[in-house]
Structure 1
Amino acid sequence: MSSACDDPRMDDLVARAHALLEENQYLTLATADASGRPWSTTVWYTAWQRSRSSTRLAVELVWLSRPEALHSRNLTQRPEVGISIFNSAQPAGTGDGLQFAAHAELVPSALLDDAAAAFSAASVAAGGGTWTRAQVEEPSVPRLYIARIRSAFLLGNATRVEVPLA
Structure 2
Amino acid sequence: MNDIAVRAQQLLEENQYLTLATADASGRPWSSTVWYAAWQRSRSEQWLAVEFIWLSRPEALHSRNILHRPEVGISIFNSAQPAGTGDGLQFAARAELVPSALLDEAAEAFSRASLAAGGGAWTRAQVEEPALPRLYRARTESAYLLGNGNRVELPLA
Please, what TM-score do these two structures have when normalized by structure 1?
0.94
Q: Which has the larger Rg?
A: 1
Letter paired with 1:129: G
Distance 1:143 1:75 in 2: 13
Q: Which runs of 5+ in 2 are unaligned?
A: none
The aligned residue for residue 137 of structure 2 is 146
Distance 2:8 2:128 in 1: 30
Runs of 4+ in 1 over 6 A off after TM superposition: none
Letter paired with 1:78: R
Distance 1:85 1:105 in 2: 19
Please, what TM-score do these two structures have when normalized by structure 2?
0.99
Q: Which runs of 5+ in 1 are unaligned?
A: 1-7
Match of 1:18 among 9, 26, 30: 9
Letter paired with 1:65: S
Query: Is structure 2 residue 43 aligned with structure 1 residue 47?
Result: no
Following TM superposition, by how much is the alpha carbon of 1:53 offset from its aligned partner in structure 2, in angstroms?
1.1
Match of 2:85 among 74, 91, 94: 94
The aligned residue for residue 153 of structure 2 is 162
DSSP-derived class of the 2:36 partner: strand
DSSP-derived class of the 1:122 partner: helix
Distance 1:16 1:108 in 2: 30
Taking every aligned residue pair, what percent have the same amino acid on both sides? 80
Match of 1:123 among 114, 125, 135: 114
Distance 2:54 2:12 in 1: 13
Aligned residues: 157
